[in-house]
Amino acid sequence: MRVVAGSQKGRRLKEPEGQDLRPTSARVREALLSILAHRTQGARVLDLYAGTGALGLESLSRGAHQVVFVENHVASARILRENVTRCGHDERCVVMTQDAETFLTAPPSCGEPPAFDIVFADPPYHTTDLTRLLERLSRSGIIASQGMVILEHFFKHPVPSRIGALTQTRQSRYGNTMLTFYQRSTEETCD
């Protein structure tokens, strides 16, 4: 696996062997970051269920300011840290080895204001309640005003068009992968 574009284009990323991970394909990463091109520059990014860190590292390669990675699998988090170092982004990254739901309940400030401009959420395809995840994200207070959440999920799993402060703005399908884009409204609403 390699970084697709930007300052780190072609940089090889380490992948875990023998684990049941489903890294975001290069095709999907390229499409996703092209869609977000105008938002990436200078952005503060959160990569939930980060795995190898490919999405967050791709964002840094395209001009993001900082990425906070959240990955609960210890071996994956170790490989993620190696990938951050390979790309020379140690100063711009924070790797949290913890469960995404725990992180959303009490997110640390990581030395910056607690709001993220872009949130990637790529939970296990068949084990996570997507509505519950989106609800926790909406209530967490970590999404900047007009910030985006991009949920990567199995295309057959339905997701709400609106939940809390998040409103679905777009869906793009790539094989079995669906990318659902949400934008945080400036005003909180209750559902």
For the segment 147-191, what is each residue's pLDDT rounded down to a tens digit? Answer: 999 999 999 999 999 999 999 999 999 999 999 999 998 654 444
Q: In the predicted model, is pLDDT for residue 2 greater than 90?
A: no
- Look at residues 67, 73, 35 and name the one whose alpha carbon lies nearest to residue 54: 67
Cα gap 44→40, rounded to integer Å: 8
Cα gap 62→132, rounded to integer Å: 31
DSSP symbol at 90:
G
- Look at residues 18, 94, 7 and name the one whose alpha carbon lies nearest to residue 58: 7
Residue 44, CA distances (Å) to 63, 68, 109 in order: 10, 8, 12
- Please give the span between the terminal C-alpha atoms of the chain, in angstroms, as a whole number: 41
Which tops the pLDDT comparison, 5 or 94? 94
CATH homologous superfamily of 26-184 equals Vaccinia Virus protein VP39 (3.40.50.150)
State if pTM tops 0.75: yes
Nearby residues of 163 by Cβ (< 8 Å), 6 or more positions away: 131, 134, 135, 138, 182, 191
Question: pLDDT per residue over 57-106, tens digit each?
Answer: 999 988 999 999 999 999 889 999 999 998 888 899 999 999 998 899 87
